[in-house]
């Protein structure tokens, strides 16, 4: 019986197990995760989890699901190495586990700031349930929160903490929020919204010096200004957990390099989710994405590969982020050199930014505009030519724009 070992306990690993179960193949499946919890929903950690009175981990599947389907689960087991010659993995502590097929679903880890190296009791990053539990506890008695980084996770934490009545300052080193992933229109809208919600956002601003007293950071200097802090959250992005793959000599390039079937440079090893650098058919280049959609769809793709029914990964990327009362949804991968058209009125709190290459819609960012997002996913996939001026007209439902053209 084929022995399949999955390294990781996140969205990709859980979906891979589910897809293998659905395939009804006669296999032995083992999931090894260094976390102490069964795979759970990560997105709530920066949103509801921090503010709920009695938050619970939202497990992706109950313990009985794994047991009922004979999936062996090994929690708290960090995989330390892969020996490709003997087709075994080694756990910290020395135990070796054989595999016929190995699936790396190791995700990412939070990027850290050298300023805070060495660790301080009140400086946090947020990646895991345990991180969220620690942060949540510390936040209860805190008043002044400093968030470093104006990306999705930093903004979500800032919004949630402001809702909790905390005094929140957010520093972003770049000239605008979400500078690497969103349009200037969305950045400007979010800046205004977060400021209106009471978050003191400062762009093009970095910490100059840190005031450490004992184990904690008591404040930071920004230029000549001293900001007292109770809690600091560093949200400056994530780096792929591709170390295991690198040590094993697999091709890596900002993530584990995979082909369109999720195969690494070793035919017995696949990789899925946030940790992969994969060929994007739409963009014509290798990219790495951090989203639940990508993790789930790559997991399904890998299961097809393993079961001998390979189908290339062509799923349209999509993503969401909840920041206070604002829901951002993105379909496709925004390319900043594509032509942008704004549909709707940002001052009304509901609009979309459409990206075009010629008359083909390539990506859409929607703010509180779920219908646009759903329509965009279909239009982008279909690559039907669309007149920009019709698409920009909020009086015409986006789903009808292409049909109207044909008529
Ligand atoms: C706070 C937060 C909010 C988010 N919000 C959103 C959102 O709103 N929308 C969205 O689309 N995405 C969101 N994301 C991103 C989303 O959670 C990730 O894209 C998704 O979790 C990726 O799944 P994955 O399985 O590839 O990686 P992960 O979920 O990170 O899982 C990787 C797993 O591998 C384990 N692991 C790593 N190395 C080893 C090892 N050597 N041995 C054993 N186990 C190992 C890790 O501990 C972890 O359990 C958010 C992420 C965070 C952290």
How many domains are contained in the chain? 3
Q: Please give the number of the atom of ligand 1 that sits closest to the Cα of 128.
A: 53
User: Residue 316 falls within a domain, yes or no?
Assistant: no
For residues 197-218, give the mean pLDDT.
96
pTM greater than 0.95 (yes/no): yes
- pLDDT reported for residue 407: 43
| pLDDT (tens digit per residue) in 346-355 | 999 999 999 9
**119: CATH:** 3.50.50.60
What pLDDT is attached to residue 406?
47
Same-domain status, 8 and 55: yes
Q: What is the dihedral of CA 369, 370, 374, 377, to 10 degrees?
A: 60
13 lines ligand 1 (CB under 6 A): yes
> Which residue among 11, 74, 277, 316 has the greatest number of ligand 1 atoms within 8 angstroms of its CB, and so is best to mutate?
11
24 lies in the same domain as 128: no
38 Cα–ligand 1 center, Å: 13
Residue finishing a domain among 191, 219, 234: 234
- The predicted pLDDT at position 117 comes to 83
- Is residue 313, in this structure, part of any structural domain at all? no
Same domain (yes/no): 134, 81: no
Centre of ligand 1 to C-alpha 329, Å, is 19
Q: Does residue 169 have its Cβ closer than 6 Å to ligand 1? A: no
pLDDT at 225 over 80: yes
**What spacing in Å lies between the alpha carbon of 98 and ligand 1's midpoint?**
25
Domain of residue 378: give its range: 325-406
> 179 with 288, same domain?
no
pLDDT at 405 over 60: no
- Residue 403: pLDDT band with limits 50, 70, 90: low
320 CB near ligand 1 (under 6 Å): yes
Q: What is the pLDDT of residue 206?
A: 96
**43 Cα–ligand 1 center, Å:** 9
Quick check: is 282 in a domain?
yes
Q: Is residue 219 located within the same domain as residue 184? A: yes
CB distance 290 to ligand 1 below 6 Å: yes
Residues 335 and 230 in one domain: no
Q: Is the CB of 362 under 6 A from ligand 1?
A: no
* 67: in domain: yes
User: What percent of the chain stands above pLDDT 70?
Assistant: 99
Per-residue pLDDT of 90-149, as tens digits, reads 999 999 999 999 999 999 999 999 999 888 999 999 999 999 999 999 999 999 999 999
Assign 53 a pLDDT band (cuts: 50, 70, 90): confident
């Amino acid at each position: 019986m084929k022995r399949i070992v999955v390294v990781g306990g996140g969205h990709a690993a859980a979906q891979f197990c589910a897809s293998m179960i659905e395939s009804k193949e006669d296999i032995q499946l083992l999931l090894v995760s260094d976390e102490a919890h069964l795979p759970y929903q990560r997105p709530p950690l920066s949103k509801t989890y921090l503010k709920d009175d009695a938050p619970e981990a939202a497990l992706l599947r109950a313990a009985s699901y794994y047991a009922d389907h004979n999936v062996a689960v090994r929690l708290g087991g960090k995989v330390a190495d892969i020996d490709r010659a003997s087709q075994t993995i080694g756990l910290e502590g020395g135990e070796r586990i054989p595999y016929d097929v190995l699936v790396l679903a190791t995700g990412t880890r939070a990027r850290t700031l050298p300023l805070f190296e060495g660790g301080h009791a009140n400086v946090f990053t947020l990646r895991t349930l345990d991180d969220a539990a620690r942060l949540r506890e510390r936040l209860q008695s805190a008043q002044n929160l400093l968030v470093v980084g104006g990306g999705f996770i930093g903004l979500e934490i800032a919004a949630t903490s402001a809702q909790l009545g905390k005094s929140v300052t957010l520093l972003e080193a770049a000239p605008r929020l979400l500078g690497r992933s969103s349009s200037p229109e969305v950045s400007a809208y979010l800046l205004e919204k977060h400021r209106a919600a009471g978050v003191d956002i400062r762009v093009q601003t970095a910490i100059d010096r840190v005031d450490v007293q004992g184990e904690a950071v008591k404040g930071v200097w920004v230029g000549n200004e001293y900001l007292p802090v109770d809690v600091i959250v560093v949200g400056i992005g994530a780096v792929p957990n591709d170390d295991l793959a690198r040590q094993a000599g697999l091709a890596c390039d900002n993530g584990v390099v995979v082909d369109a079937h999720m195969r690494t440079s070793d035919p017995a090893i696949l990789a899925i989710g946030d940790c992969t650098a994969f060929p994007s058919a739409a963009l014509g280049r290798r990219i790495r994405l951090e989203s639940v959609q990508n993790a789930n769809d790559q997991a399904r793709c890998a299961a097809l590969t393993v079961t001998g029914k390979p189908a290339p990964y062509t799923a349209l990327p999509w993503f969401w982020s909840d920041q206070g009362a604002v829901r951002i949804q993105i379909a496709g991968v925004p390319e900043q050199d594509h032509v942008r058209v704004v549909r709707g009125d940002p001052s009304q709190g509901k609009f979309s930014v459409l990206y075009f290459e010629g008359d083909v819609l390539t990506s859409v960012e929607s703010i509180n505009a779920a219908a646009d997002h759903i329509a965009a996913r279909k239009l982008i996939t279909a690559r039907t030519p669309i007149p920009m001026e019709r698409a920009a007209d909020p009086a015409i439902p986006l789903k009808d724009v292409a049909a109207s053209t044909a008529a």
